[in-house]
Structure 1
Amino acid sequence: MSSKVKSVILHSTSKSELNIYLLTMIRYKIIIFLYGLIGVSGNTVSPAVAGLDSALTILKDNDLYAQYTTRTSDGILVEAEKPFLVAHKACESLGESLWNPEIESFSAGLNNSLLYQKYLGKFSAGQQFWVGSAGNTCQAIDFKGRFQTLDCHRKLPAICTQSAPLSNLSFVDTSPRFHITKAMGDQTLTGYRDINSWRFFGIRFSAAPQRFGYSSVYSGKGHAMAIDEPARCLQNLNSEAVGSEDCLFLNLWTPYLPGKRITKKDLKPVMFWLYGGGNVVGTISDPGADCGNFVARGDVVCVGINYRLGNFGWLAADNTTITGNYALSDMVTGLKWVQKYIKYFGGDPARVTIMGESAGAAGVRALLASKTAKGLFHAAIMESQPVGYIPHRWYAEYRTIAEHTSAFGVLEAVNCTSASDKVACLRATDASTLTLLPADKVANYPVIDNKFLESNGLQVTGKGFINSVPTMIGATRDESAIALGPLPRFTNLTESLALISSLLTQDITAAANSPAFSLPPGDLAEAVFNATVRVATDGTIKCLGLATAYSAAKHKTLPSIYAFEFNRTYSPPNYTSSLCSPPITPEFPLGDANQEYYKCHAGEVILVFGTVLRLGLPDRDGLDIPFSQAVIDHWASFMWRYDPNPNPAYLKARGYFNTLNQISLSGKWETVKPKRPELRVLQWDSLSIPFSEGPQCAALGYPLNYYEAYL
């Protein structure tokens, strides 16, 4: 008990009451001492923390408004029932005190986050929780915020304060006060918390594999710190080799930590995140994809893994033991780690959703096609998966090892073709040399190796193996605009597409003669650019994404599939251009996102993760944050229920009324049905429309029945 509280009690009691109080304190000190002797702590700050053999939940009503939120009342729920003084000691062991209604307002967020625990079925409607008071009474609170003085011997869950600060792009507090140590198998890991989540960063999930060797699950022993961002996998950043070959670490965010006794029904769904970057760059430390806001709002556990990049992750060399897909082995190893250890962090290994953007989505697609990943995940989300024009095709239509070897010519580039032992030569080559080769000498695609991949693509028509799980697939509306922006402008569509053809190494100029891409009246250069963006976006991502959804629905190779297109985006600061920003108007000096602008590649990521304000970006028109709320609620619903339509009862229980109003306006997001396939246009006031770009995709040679005809 803090000296401040002791002082209040001593000044408000009579001599006889004081004697009773002192005897009670002695009794409870003995109890607490015995708790420490038997080591009851499953989540610990020190080896034995009195009374803390309990599941812990961060109570955070996260509206994504960060430092501007009015939902300012937070707490930590110590779920195990304990007498009052032991509960108080449990809070102290977390560096906190019992939550005090005289200091914080119950109705400023704690009401919703506590009521949600009842919605989950963890407590009955009449449950009470120990909280603090300024007097010498033992006070409890119920779900309606009513307080009652109870016998201090009663055993109840407790609500502690939550004083960990809000972290953001420029600030994080990893000081020991906020540390927590978690046992998993034969290892203990010390992470920390911020206001939203418990955070364990830099967890090794595989020992450093031999170069061009497969990874395997790491089962560590002893103790490790998990509070710092890990090294990224070796990559070429601005013509400099950055990172390490020893990079197979993961970051983990969770709103809930179970105690020693893990109850399966209390475990949360798991998001398994794969970053984008063309399979040549990327890191789990991308601040735009920080999972803290997502897990707090969506009540899921998030795991993001590093996987090997470029030649270290994807090189295959014919007639050698270097068969490629090493990055894919890292993804499978990460999923195996989740199956083995995620329960210790509150995640349910039976409810894992793999999710990726761009090359990360290509990783998801490869996992869907891989027998080695069977049973390791249970749903999938692909955002902006590249597929279509060469070279994007090779992310989804896999080549043989011989074709792969010929395409990249890495052996020749590092003078290993005449070596008696080509594998030894490649392993002896300086890591920087392999990293900094010209782009066309850096392997970055999956390959048919007959271990991880056995066919030339995802078998959506039922002709071969597929991991049949509920799936979401979609894109941003104008994916290619950001890549095309720096190129010269033309007033002739054929000339514009000829330049794109030279970059793609595939002739797409025939599209200029198709009525599907006729130019509207007005500024000719702008019309040509719009048409060029449309041809490029359709041909590199959109058309075959829709064809994937269509064929999977038609042949029932996936049990359910939901299609989407983002028509509101917010490009991350490290990957944007003026084209990707909404026009500035007198009414909206930061940009009016309801007006026309290009919805660029990667423009959905910070909305999906809820990191707009975390990155120091403004809400441009007052709707970016509410829209991000709705997107997280759709994505989290899919992870919980394999259905992106949130349960209205859930939204009410959590106080998510912005989303509740939006789904009442937008109607149900339907699964793709082959006779009349629809996609959800994600914007403020979302809507469902028939699959777009049908004539355009047919003109490009990528019709809806592409996989029936060509794969």
Structure 2
Amino acid sequence: MLPHSFVAVLSLSFAATASAGVTVLFQNDGNWTSHAEKPSALLVSSSGDAAADCTSYGESLLGCDEVQDFYEQLNYQKFIGSIPEDGLVWSGCNQSAAANDSGLQYTLCTNSAPIVDKVGPDFSIYPHVNASANGTTFEGLRDHMAFRFMGIPFAQPPIGDLRFKYAQPWTGSFVNATQYSASCMQFGSYNGNSLGLNPWGNSEDCLYLNVFTPEVPDADDTSALKPVLFWIHGGASTSGTGTDGNFDGASLASRSDVVVVTINYRLNIFGYLSLDDEAIPGNYALSDKIAALQWVQHYITGFGGNPNNVTIFGQSAGGGSVVDLITSPRAEGLFDGAIIQSGSKGWTKTQAAVAASIEPYIAPLCNGTGTARLECLQALSADTLLNLTSEGGSWSTVIDNDFTLDLHIAQIAKGRQAVNSVNLMLGFMPEEGQSLVYTALAPNLTTFREGLDALGPVSGGSFTEELATAILDSGLWVVGNETSSNSGATVYPDAYNASISVSSDFTLTCGGSQLASVGAASASFESMWVYNMERAYALPWYNPYGLCSFPVGQPDTPYYRCHSGDLFEVFGTYYLFDQPVRVPEDIYYTNAIQDMWAAFARTGNPNVDPEYLKVRGYDSTIDLFSNWEWPEFSTWSPRVASLQYPESSYTTLPEQQHCDVLLPYLSS
């Protein structure tokens, strides 16, 4: 049984500095099926009366019988210095409260806020909280696991004469951040809320971000700031949103003690149009991402985040955006870590190539040049422009000698002085291509050639007849009982699996492998860590033929580790979509992924500090690291972490002989 006031239980070797503010205490053990029932409390630090502190949040002092539920959380607060060694934590057990030598007292209050456990809840029932930074007050919400501030403008609306212009900074003294904003203009799954993922709709006025944090510090306190994880969504640069429930940051923030930022950025023609002239040069989406990072530098301390410890991470096209930022001189100094999840080597084109792809569709509407043509395009309706994207266009970051200086691989090959200074982590899903081609390939595919022919249309024309011939002539892909004179051949059980392998390697894996190899050879990064995910949990709406996940209780059932099969693990958001725990290892693997991602954000190294794990009570991750560590990737030791639970292992970059055939045909 705990004493009435919680006293120091750790012997720390450093002098702790007290911080002021309010923290949500929630012992996130990763079991998403019971998040709503787990106890949650507030830790308030102030110079006022304990009971009054709780009342100011609409709560009461935490009862004696509940204090023991937060033993590990309080230990951790001492571990990081948020509570000083001599600090007493007051609860309903105490009749009075007194400040310590710093003038602060620490109070445990109830937290009656409900969990956000579905997309599009009624946010009016959640208690409000204010955060302040640089003269601006942000009014957000408190939930069961964290604080959330939604729909924060980071740039002026890119409408009217700001359409097809670089993002312009937003300024203001107050932001109501209690509702999500609209997503950016797009077709697909996030248009019309067809899959229940986007009840907030789409708009050209869409440059907003969201912040999830376990702590709102006192406005004057900048001690003990937390790492920032800055998320860039994917969607082929044509769809997606930072408000996607998959990327709700509350679970990741509470489990990992980090500040999570998710952003919107302009998509398709609105973010990527380039007409190869000074009036419409392109790279508007890249300017949005940089503007959001600049917002982080200016305001994130008000949410407990450290502007000097920012890690950008993204998946698919979002991973490609990470490569954009690593190589962009405009992004220098805005982050110090980067994680590329299934992002290949990024995608760049010349301005002329993008212009040529859209010119036939724009010319009938606006056939002038320069400023006159820009003004014509700015006068068109947003829907008119969006409709053009369904007809043609190639949406990519462009080489403009300003935001982007060269092809990404060429820039990285120039060495450390040519890229932004970062620790880099990157990796793959083994069968990315299964879900990427969706139903263009069918499991009953009869011949390998038939599969290769099907890849052309779904690749946007980049998978050519010439490439298909090169693949067949190489003898590296062997189906069934066929034979090959190539000693490096890989044998696949059927044409479907061989075709998925080609799709995976061509679309994502070979580009990512090339980035890792070139980055290591040129010593372009402060450190590099490469992984291959051996486990996956498919998004329920992105699971072609039901083959991207194994059934509940049947982990030995063969399945594909598909593209996007890592998103639930990174964010832990299964509970927003009523997903079951298939086996307990789903929980432990998710815990480990979040712990490693956060360790990388905190230190630039994904190997998790064992003392941190011990203090937090994260036993399942302790077990994973008991006889394994993640190796740093280099030319002299090109080992790749093979991530799985209960045992992770080591592998090498995948399919290098295959990549030798495919890479000459990869654009950018």
**TM-score computed with the length of structure 2 as normaliser:** 0.87
1:688 paired with 2:647, answer no
Q: Distance in 2 between matches of 1:350 and 1:490?
A: 52
Q: Distance in 2 between matches of 1:171 and 1:111?
A: 33
* Higher mean C-alpha deviation, range 343-352 or range 463-472: 463-472
Distance 1:446 1:69, change over 3 A: closer
The residue type equivalent to 2:249 in the other structure is C
Secondary structure, aligned partner of 2:531: strand
1:460 paired with 2:418, answer no
- Structure 1 equivalent of residue 197 of structure 2: none
Aligned match for 1:446, one of 393, 397, 401: 397
Shift of 1:605: 0.6
Distance 1:95 1:683, change over 3 A: same
* 1:449-505, Cα deviation, whole Å (9 max, x unpaired): 222112122422226721120011111110010133513443321232123135432
Secondary structure, aligned partner of 1:365: helix
The residue type equivalent to 2:78 in the other structure is K
- Structure 1 equivalent of residue 5 of structure 2: none
Aligned match for 2:453, one of 472, 476, 498: 498
* 1:503-549, Cα deviation, whole Å (9 max, x unpaired): 43223322133332122459x99611101111110111111201211
Distance 1:403 1:282, change over 3 A: same
Distance 1:676 1:54, change over 3 A: closer
Shift of 1:70: 10
1:500-579 alignment, distance < 5 Å: 500-504=455-459, 505=461, 506-507=464-465, 508-509=467-468, 510-521=470-481, 527-579=494-546
Aligned match for 1:474, one of 423, 427, 435: 427
Distance 1:652 1:230, change over 3 A: same
- Structure 1 equivalent of residue 639 of structure 2: 678
Distance 1:443 1:495, change over 3 A: closer
Native 8 Å contact 1:217 1:334 kept in 2: no
Q: Distance in 2 between matches of 1:346 and 1:115?
A: 19
Aligned match for 2:40, one of 74, 85, 110: 74
Distance 1:386 1:547, change over 3 A: closer
- Structure 1 equivalent of residue 10 of structure 2: none
1:607 paired with 2:601, answer no
Distance 1:237 1:537, change over 3 A: closer
- Structure 1 equivalent of residue 198 of structure 2: none
1:311-350 alignment, distance < 5 Å: 311-350=269-308
Distance 1:126 1:185, change over 3 A: closer
Native 8 Å contact 2:414 2:522 kept in 1: yes
- Structure 2 equivalent of residue 407 of structure 1: 357
Shift of 1:123: 3.2
Native 8 Å contact 1:248 1:307 kept in 2: yes
1:235-274 alignment, distance < 5 Å: 235-237=186-188, 243-264=202-223, 266-274=224-232
Secondary structure, aligned partner of 2:293: helix
* Higher mean C-alpha deviation, range 369-378 or range 203-212: 203-212
1:218 paired with 2:170, answer yes
Q: Distance in 1 between matches of 2:312 and 2:643?
A: 21
Shift of 1:583: 4.3
Shift of 1:681: 1.6
- Structure 2 equivalent of residue 119 of structure 1: 79
**TM-score computed with the length of structure 1 as normaliser:** 0.82
Shift of 1:554: 1.8
- Structure 1 equivalent of residue 28 of structure 2: 62
The residue type equivalent to 1:436 in the other structure is N
- Structure 2 equivalent of residue 205 of structure 1: 154
1:486 paired with 2:439, answer yes
Distance 1:257 1:574, change over 3 A: same
Q: Distance in 2 between matches of 1:658 and 1:443?
A: 45
Q: Distance in 2 between matches of 1:65 and 1:90?
A: 31
- Structure 2 equivalent of residue 628 of structure 1: 590
- Structure 1 equivalent of residue 486 of structure 2: none
* 1:259-317, Cα deviation, whole Å (9 max, x unpaired): 032133x1001011100111111111111111100000010001111100111100011
Shift of 1:354: 0.5
Q: Distance in 2 between matches of 1:414 and 1:652?
A: 65
Native 8 Å contact 1:235 1:280 kept in 2: yes
- Structure 1 equivalent of residue 137 of structure 2: 188
Distance 1:158 1:175, change over 3 A: same
1:114-193 alignment, distance < 5 Å: 114-133=74-93, 137-138=95-96, 156-169=105-118, 172=121, 174-175=123-124, 178-193=127-142
Distance 1:337 1:418, change over 3 A: closer
* 1:104-154, Cα deviation, whole Å (9 max, x unpaired): 251x3x111111011113334453211113xx83379xxxxxxxxx99xx9
Report which structure shows greater RCO (CA 8 Å, sep ≥6).
2
Native 8 Å contact 1:192 1:227 kept in 2: yes
- Structure 1 equivalent of residue 16 of structure 2: none
- Structure 2 equivalent of residue 592 of structure 1: 554
- Structure 2 equivalent of residue 10 of structure 1: none
Native 8 Å contact 1:97 1:160 kept in 2: yes
Distance 1:174 1:579, change over 3 A: closer
Native 8 Å contact 2:492 2:498 kept in 1: no
Q: Distance in 1 between matches of 2:120 and 2:171?
A: 32
Aligned match for 2:375, one of 417, 424, 429: 424
* Higher mean C-alpha deviation, range 161-170 or range 306-315: 161-170
Distance 1:653 1:414, change over 3 A: farther
Gaps of 5+ in 2: 1-18, 193-200, 483-490
1:90 paired with 2:53, answer yes
- Structure 2 equivalent of residue 12 of structure 1: none
1:292 paired with 2:250, answer yes
Shift of 1:406: 0.8
Q: Distance in 2 between matches of 1:328 and 1:511?
A: 35
Secondary structure, aligned partner of 2:451: helix
Q: Distance in 2 between matches of 1:443 and 1:410?
A: 12
1:355-394 alignment, distance < 5 Å: 355-387=313-345
Native 8 Å contact 1:55 1:257 kept in 2: yes
Q: Distance in 2 between matches of 1:582 and 1:237?
A: 23
Distance 1:440 1:600, change over 3 A: farther
Native 8 Å contact 1:284 1:306 kept in 2: yes
* 1:322-373, Cα deviation, whole Å (9 max, x unpaired): 0110010000000000000000110000000011111111111101110000
Shift of 1:630: 0.7
* Higher mean C-alpha deviation, range 301-310 or range 568-577: 568-577
The residue type equivalent to 1:408 in the other structure is I
Native 8 Å contact 2:361 2:391 kept in 1: no
Gaps of 5+ in 1: 1-52, 141-149, 388-394, 585-589
* 1:1-27, Cα deviation, whole Å (9 max, x unpaired): xxxxxxxxxxxxxxxxxxxxxxxxxxx
Shift of 1:99: 1.1
* Higher mean C-alpha deviation, range 569-578 or range 630-639: 569-578
The residue type equivalent to 1:688 in the other structure is Y
Shift of 1:408: 2.6
Native 8 Å contact 1:318 1:405 kept in 2: yes
Native 8 Å contact 2:187 2:238 kept in 1: yes
Aligned match for 1:660, one of 617, 622, 639: 622
* Higher mean C-alpha deviation, range 308-317 or range 507-516: 507-516
Distance 1:101 1:173, change over 3 A: farther
